[in-house]
Amino acid sequence: MDYIHLNDLEFYGFHGALPEETKLGQIFRVTITLACDLKKAGETDNLEETVNYAEVFELCKGIVEGKPYLLIEAVAEKVATSILQEYAEKVSGCRIQLVKPNPPIVGHYASVAVDITRGTL
């Protein structure tokens, strides 16, 4: 199996269970791993034979910067489901890591995150 990685995509969204999160918004970082066969793309150097990661970026951006969700779990699930639906012929599975660097939690920590895998990686 081959993989495409989109690392540390950064977006501004309004997800969270606390009122200040949905009013002020915050940065979210997303890393996406796509499981797909890249052999033909490598042999032909043809964009049509691979997954266009610029399109995947825009799909993810539309979700993270779009409709607010209470939970980052729901955001990650929507990203994964949308990728698998949109690229069903080319992507057999995906892994989504969604990081919330600065949630309004009192204490010392680097970030909070969810990491989900859907399909076959």
39 is catalytic: no
Strands (E), the chain: 2-13, 26-36, 93-100, 112-119
**Can you give 29-60 as a three-state secondary structure string?**
EEEEEEEECCHHHHHHCCHHHCCCHHHHHHHH
Question: Residues for the chain: how many in total?
Answer: 121
Question: How far apart are the C-alpha atoms of 104 and 102, rounded to whole Å?
Answer: 6
| 91 close to 34: Cβ distance less than 8 angstroms | yes
Question: How far apart are the C-alpha atoms of 64 and 82, rounded to whole Å?
Answer: 12
Catalytic residue of the set 39, 67, 78, 100: 100
Catalytic residue set: 100
